[in-house]
Structure 1
Amino acid sequence: MTLREIAMLTNPTAGKGRGARFRDAATERLRAAGVAVRALQGRDADEALDLAREAVSAGTEALVVVGGDGMVHIGVQAVAGTGTPLGLVAAGTGNDVARYFDLPRKDPVAAAERLLPGTTRTVDLARSGTQHFVTVLAAGFDAIVNERANKMTWPKGQMRYNIATLAELRTFEPIPYTLELDGVTHTLEAMLVAVGNGPSFGGGLRITEGAVLDDGMLDVVIIKPMSKPGLIRTYPKLFKGTHTTHPAYEHHLVRSVTVAAPGIVSYADGERFGPLPLTVECAPGALTVLA
């Protein structure tokens, strides 16, 4: 389809203010191409989601979000299962979803030009109750790191996660889990459990390396107990996905997983998702993306 009109939802503070600048540049390019752009901006995440849902209900041709994976997360809640395409002008810190679809991450005009042909791709989502996510559910050491990193004001970008990782390592101990993988119960201790719809999170950490967006399955990765020096040595391998050869790595391909562990608040798409236990299932073909 050729785009004629869209609703554009923006996080103006994304990427240290890139959100507002990228919105303006993308809007100018789209309007120059004859696309009607309706600008949406909530005062907080809840209002942003309400605006997005209203636009989808009103029949917008596409919902385009400007920001990082957090804005994608909001947009996904509005379009999941509706068939309304989701577009992305990446302006965040991690931008893993933009990586998935090889979308521009530094050029809003190029991102707008990718939207114009209206080319779409249908992919899966992961679903827990009424919530959905695109990337990875972090449910262990990675979630604890996310909690710390989100409370930090310095530094910005990936280095914040690196520093939070080192800080949490000082006191971290393996977590007792109960997992139900397609109905089979496993009791174990692990450093982390990650549930991937896609292969990476946190700005290119390929924890669920090999995850395919449209295979109707979830990738559950378990990192079994290992020494803290071993974890530090293995951490850089996450950026290339070469951690999969480590003896502590375990991988399961499932349609549904229940993750239970004491005191863990899970994260998905870089956002707080909910305390464990959680049941996550694959929602095949639930998302249409302008890509």
Structure 2
Amino acid sequence: MSKTKHYFIINPKAGKSDVSREVAYEIEKAFRGSGDEYSIYITKERNDAEEYTKFICNKEKNENIRFYACGGDGTLNEVINGLVGFDNASVSVIPHGTGNDFVNNFEESIGFYDIKKQISFEPKSIDLIKINDTYAVNLCNIGFDAMVAENMNKFKKLPLINGQGAYTLSIFYSLFHKMTSNLEIIIDNREIIKGEFLLCVAANGLTYGGGYKGAPLAEINDGFIDLCIIKKVSRLKLIKLIGVYKAGEHLNNEELKDYFIYKRCKTINIKSNDKFSTCIDGEIFEETNINISVVENAVEFLSPTKL
């Protein structure tokens, strides 16, 4: 293969404000005098990052190519869905989104802003979660959680509100709507759980919602999905659960642990007679049947820090 080519995909709508000009300057500064080849692409609409990544992957099949998603977890998700299956491509993220949860899987997430360091880092294999025909790098959440993620848009642009703050505000806003879904959940094709549930989280990564540790045992390269299910609870009980859940202490809390089901598995099937909200790395869909599976060592991920 020839010399590495670097592709930076900037989402100007990620986060609170458009940082594309500042990020482009930092990219240009990092490559100044290096002689390495790089390109900067500014996305125009939803799914543009995925389509552009696919285009480059097909165009550069015989080149060593690296993509850098400049945005949030949703931008990273689009880029990853564009490069899955191309062995010559690797990916990283420059986190300028609202929550930036995926970088919490690494020891020093601040290192992702060091572009000069990133362009010289070696890739490591990580898993993905496949949900029907779509891939998630961080997680898929179902039910109340997905509704909260959708309602976050009402709060994430507010002054002085970070990703976690927007998620928390959205939780309280969503309390005034229908909270539960009637689901049948089949785990590894053998264990069946039926009932009315508040939410399910099928996780590859450790946190979501700007730092909520819904799957505190999750690792992005262990070959498993971490499934956390919260049973039907009253609104008052949910308010008590939030702090414990946010800190990732729900598995060991004697008072509240009976409200949680936690499994580590390879496949999950979730179905219902009614449509339920599904959120894949921040993007919302409505489904009646989803198949979830882990895809081990699916992509090569660049990071300036250890897992």
Aligned match of 1:53: 54
Say which is worse superposed, 225-234 or 167-176, in terms of deviation. Answer: 167-176
Q: Identify which range, 118-127 or 260-269, moves more after superposition.
A: 260-269
Distance 1:27 1:90, change over 3 A: farther
Q: Which residue of 150, 153, 175 corresponds with 1:169?
A: 175
Is 1:216 the counterpart of 2:223? The answer is yes
Partner of 1:134: 137
Question: TM-score, normalised to structure 2's length?
Answer: 0.86
* CA–CA distance in structure 1, aligned partners of residues 118 and 106 of structure 2: 12
Correspondence for 2:14: 14
**1:57-114 CA distance string (max 9 Å, x none):** 2225211111110110111101223231102111111111122234644873x2x133
Q: Distance in 2 between matches of 1:22 and 1:107?
A: 12
Distance 2:139 2:112 in 1: 25
User: For 1:209-238, what per-residue CA distance to the aligned partner results, in whole angstroms no more than 9, with x for missing partners?
Assistant: 111211211111111122222211221223
Distance in structure 2 (CA, Å) of the matches to 1:2 and 1:238: 48
Quick one: structure 1 residues 77 and 31, their matched pair in 2 at CA, closer, same or farther if it must change by over 3 Å? Answer: farther
C-alpha RMSD over aligned residues:
2.3
- Identify the range of structure 1 (53-62 vs 65-74) with the bigger mean alpha-carbon deviation: 53-62
Letter in 1 for 2:10: T
C-alpha contact (below 8 Å) 2:181/2:276 kept by paired residues: no
Shift of the alpha carbon at 1:264?
1.7
Q: State the match for 2:28 in structure 1.
A: 27
Q: Is the 8 A contact 1:56 1:63 kept in 2?
A: no
Structure 1 unaligned residues grouped into runs of 5+? none
Closer, same or farther: CA 3–231 of 1 in aligned 2, 3 Å: farther
Match for residue 234 of structure 1? 241
Contact 1:10/1:67 (<8 A) preserved: yes
Match of 1:267 among 273, 279, 282: 279
Residue 98 (structure 1) aligned with residue 99 (structure 2): no
Does structure 1 residue 186 correspond to structure 2 residue 198?
A: no
For structure 2, list consecutive stretches of 5 or more residues without a partner in the other structure.
Answer: none
- Residues 70 and 105 (structure 1), Cα distance of their counterparts in 2 relative to 1, 3 Å cut: farther
Q: CA 1:23–1:94 in structure 2 vs 1: closer, same or farther (change >3 Å)? A: farther
115-124 or 280-289, which deviates more: 115-124
Q: CA contact under 8 A between 1:195 and 1:220: conserved in structure 2? A: yes
The AA in structure 1 aligned to 2:35 is G
More helix by share: 1
Partners of 1:237 and 1:24 lie apart in 2 by 41
| Aligned residue in 2 for 1:77 | 81
CA displacement at 1:19 relative to structure 2 = 4.1
1:243 counterpart = 2:250: yes
Report which stretch shifted further, 261-270 or 83-92: 261-270
Distance 1:92 1:7 in 2: 18
Identity %: 20
CA distance in 1, matches of 2:112, 2:271: 41
For 1:206 and 1:7, how far apart are their aligned partners in 2? 31
d(CA) in 1 for partners of 2:287 and 2:138?
Answer: 18
8 A contact 1:23–1:66 mirrored in 2:
no
Residues 4 and 66 in structure 2, CA contact (< 8 A), matched pair in contact too: no
Give the letter for the 1:82 counterpart: F
Larger CA deviation: 41-50 vs 69-78? 41-50
